[in-house]
Amino acid sequence: MDIDQPTDSSQRKGRGMEIRSVRPEELSEMIDLQCRVFRADGQLRYGQYIHGDSSYEYGQTRVVVVEGGRIAATLRIWDREMRIGATAVRMGGIGGVCTDPELRGRGYASALMGDAISWMRREGYLTSVLFSAISTRFYRNLGWGSVPMAGFRIRRVGRRAEPGNAEWGVSVFDETRDLAQVTALYEAHNLQRSGTLVRQRAYWDSAPARLRGILPSVVVRRGGDLGGYLHLDLGDDTAEVLEVGYDREEEGALVALVDHLLRVCEAKGLDEIAAVIPPQHPLAAAIEERGDGGDLELTGDSAMMMYPVDLKALFGALLPELQSRIDRAGGEGTPENGVSPVELCLRVGDQACALSVDDEGRLTLGDAVAETAEISLSAGMFWRVLMGESGWGELEPTLRAMGTGVSAEQSSLLTTLFRRREVIFWAPDHY
């Protein structure tokens, strides 16, 4: 793959360091640093992250360079589109954050994160996502907020149900036969789902995606029609479901996939099924109904963290969907049958965006002004309601307890805009 030469004009200097795009002649040193910090055998892998990704630009790799031209710290920004609700927005995925072990404790990582946000803002990204492998406090102090990812576990797995509809047959995924239909089904299955990425065909074909195992394990077919797919990671004791997709109008397809999963567990002596998928997902209920295991246990973590690169632009991208939520609530009216005219300003960290609904129920955005009532949210609260992990009504009592007043009209608008919905970030999309 040919990579354009860097044209980074965003170099930052100070405190004996320079923060900028990586240069072609520095790639080897940068990869060596990643291998020392993450995995000693990662030379080929990390090289493919660059040369096997058609979307890569040198500016996406940020480096801190200190005296002597030594790379002290680095990170990678992955150019992605993520759905917030049903709206796809440009997202910069931050990964590979590392500092030379000999140079830690000097503030390089914090400075690098600040530079990454500035670079993404200039490049037109609206939000950023990372998955913290360390204490989330470090990133919270930089303005990031956690989005809890729910999952489930079922122990003592067994089969009790008779096989499902025999017209659906499960087979090992075959790229030549199946990939085009899998990509189409993925988009249809996730079109309205917060947290999922838009996967263009180039993404499916890219070396980074293949290295992380983007392709499913098995598919289910009825004749020439593909009804679903399942992506499994089989351990010594656990079958982990990394991803599942199916035609929602074909319940038999999901049943066939679950029956296959239970047969695999039985054949390999696996005692547990686990997934970082909300327990409300139909997969969990199907496993409970088709299987003969223990109770479903809730799991999850807060490693997924988000940052509003450009808050007002983000709301601008979401405006059509937010307006549709108001329209469905009744538009013009009172809190009982719609949304009353109201103004408010949401503040998250050092950014703010004013929201206003007029007499006709039309939502507009603006800059913060002194006359507009301001509601300040922590980054964590903001992302939980924006993504749909929590509804506004669930978090408002906490705000009130913390001394943040919310009028009835404001509450009505925010409850209408921010309702709970299923949030999933599929495991194969990690970077």
Interior/surface letters 323-348, b for 16+ CB within 10 angstroms, e for the rest: bebbeebebbeebeebbbebbbbbbb
Residue 300 is encoded by which pair of tokens? Answer: 């999850």
pLDDT band at 334 (very low <50, low <70, confident <90, very high): very low
CATH class in words for 152-300: alpha beta
Nearest to 420 by CA among 325, 308, 356: 325
H-assigned helices in 132-270: 137-140, 175-190, 201-205, 207-211, 251-268
Amino acid at 405: G
Say which DSSP state 348 is in: E
CATH number, domain 12-148, options 3.40.50.300, 3.40.50.970, 3.90.950.10, 3.40.630.30 = 3.40.630.30
**Residue 341: both structure tokens together:** 């005219």
C-alpha to C-alpha distance for 347 and 299, rounded to whole angstroms: 31
Which CATH number describes the domain made up of 310-417? Answer: 3.30.1050.10
What is the 8-class DSSP label of residue 36? H
Tens of pLDDT, residues 362-407: 999 999 887 889 999 999 999 999 999 999 999 999 998 998 889 9
- Are 151 and 276 in contact, with CB atoms under 8 Å apart? yes
Would you state the structure tokens that stand for residue 161, as one six-digit string?
């149900």
Of 120-124, 180-184, 268-272, the least confident: 268-272
Over the stretch 206-221, which tens digit does the pLDDT of each residue have? 999 999 999 999 999 9
Domains 12-148 and 310-417 in one fold: no
User: What is the pLDDT, as a whole number, of residue 331?
Assistant: 47
Instruction: Determine the residue type at 50.
Output: I
Residue spans per domain, the chain: 12-148, 152-300, 310-417
